[in-house]
Amino acid sequence: MRPQDGTGKQAGSPKDPQLIPLHQKPDKIYTRSFEGFYRNLRIAGGALLFILYFGVLWLEWEGRQAVLFDLPARKFHVFGITFWPQDFMMLSWTLIICAFGLFFITVLAGRVWCGYTCPQSVFTWVYMWAERVTEGDRNKRMKRDKGPMSVEKLWRKAAKHSLWFSVALVTGITFVGYFTPIKELIPALLSFDAGSWALFWIGFFTVATYLNAGWLRENVCMHMCPYARFQSVMFDSDTLTIWYDQKRGENRGPRKRGMDYKEKGLGDCIDCKACVHVCPTGIDIREGLQYECIGCAACVDACDTIMEKMGYDKGLVRYTSANELDGKKTHLLRPRMIGYFTALVIMISTLIWNLDHRVPYELGVQRDRNSLFTENRFGQIENVYQLKLINKDQQSHDFTVSVSGFPGLVYNGPTKVSVSTGGVETVPVRIAIDPAKLKDSGSINLTFTISPELDADDGYPDISINSSFIAPQ
């Protein structure tokens, strides 16, 4: 039996849930600094993401920005590949792969995406660091906020907001730099010659970053992000999430180091609340799994530090599964995991194959629908077509045009078409057939083919597309 307090409840047991009115302003969260393995892992991952985000747009590839989404020209350059709106299916496949990847990692290890790589979390940790640098650790910030305004408080607040705004501004400029060449954007900003749309989007993302990471913080994760609401349905008893080992930790209570706390009916939890003070969403992990938990493992690092100081085993708060806590075996390989993994392998392989076999040019054929057919001056039945040749390659190409499908047809149009890099050429052609050869056919299938004049090493194939020739019956 656990000892009871004056209310008849067992001491050290989790608190009963409380209803909080929606209009009630939540208490401000003051996080304290801490050290630990997962903190170092998160810093390394966040640093890598920052290097990628802020550094990739400065790379050059064949005389242009390596990654540039040129919306006016409808070209999306990603290193050596240029995507066009016609390649929209590639983007669709990529987004589907990301979705299935998120499902897979959620079933495996809960919300580790939120805790380690979500932009909201990464920027929030950066802003919390700026807060600690300028205003001090948790206790100093709490004391200063409760006190009256002073010169020191004013300049510390100003320094904090200046850091916040600087990070937000650089973030906004970098984002716009992926759509406007960054080496043109920076001089234009410095000379006050930037376009209105560029200024608008820089301002928009600056304000969004400043508000989301600086002011909204955990409210974005708890109330604005839909993932927080539906991710729990993907959990099962084998999902590795952050748990407090209640059997080992209860009953909670302070004690002196080295005392025999087992004789007093105490568990390993000394009720220091370090796990609460480091949590960016302000929850108490000891109350069980909660939707506000983003899986950042800050509470794991804080608790392990306290356990080490007390001479106890680490892992009172740890990544584990509900089955393991109940003394059962955790099954990493289970039908849902295998299904998500199989789907991911198939989709990623398909995307890689499509990218590897992607042909950087296209052919479109449209028959003139204003008239089904005409009779030319030679007495032949004639149809008019519009051929559209699109060159998505990084260099100009010449294409040989041919048509087949009916013996004796007459092709009136250019046999060679040059298309510049990223260009689109529309070519009108006429196909004529002697009516004596048509017999009773009302429609004939034709095949238009373009053959690129490329080096043999390029290995690009011919492209053919079917159309129809309309004739009188």
In this structure, which amino acid lies at residue 295?
Answer: G
Q: Do residue 462 and residue 367 come from a single domain?
A: yes
Q: Do residue 370 and residue 445 come from a single domain?
A: yes
Q: Do residue 127 and residue 241 come from a single domain?
A: yes
Chosen domain end from 282, 302, 327 = 327
Q: Do residue 134 and residue 30 come from a single domain?
A: yes
* Residues ≥6 apart with Cβ < 8 Å to 405: 444, 445, 446, 447, 469
pLDDT in tens, 28-40: 999 999 999 999 9
pTM: 0.83
> CATH code at 428?
2.60.40.10
Q: Is 296 among the domain residues? A: yes
Query: Domain containing 426: what range?
Result: 361-470
Q: Could you tell me the maximum CA-CA distance found in the chain, to the nearest angstrom?
A: 112
Tell me how far apart the alpha carbons of residues 268 and 285 are, in angstroms, rounded to a whole number: 15
Give the total number of structural domains in the chain: 2
Which residue ranges in the chain fall short of pLDDT 70?
1-25, 440-441, 454-459
Q: Do residue 321 and residue 200 come from a single domain?
A: yes
Q: Do residue 143 and residue 238 come from a single domain?
A: yes
CA 110 to chain centre: 17
pLDDT in tens, 356-394: 888 888 899 998 878 888 989 888 999 999 999 988 877
Q: Is 238 among the domain residues? A: yes
DSSP run (H or E) holding 147: none
Q: Do residue 191 and residue 48 come from a single domain?
A: yes
% the chain with pLDDT above 90: 65
Tell me how far apart the alpha carbons of residues 45 and 381 are, in angstroms, rounded to a whole number: 68
Decide: 76 and 92 in contact? Cβ < 8 Å: no
Q: Do residue 180 and residue 295 come from a single domain?
A: yes
Q: Is 344 exposed, middle or buried (0-12, 13-18, 19+ CB in 10 A)?
A: middle
Q: Do residue 365 and residue 416 come from a single domain?
A: yes
pLDDT in tens, 83-95: 888 788 888 899 9
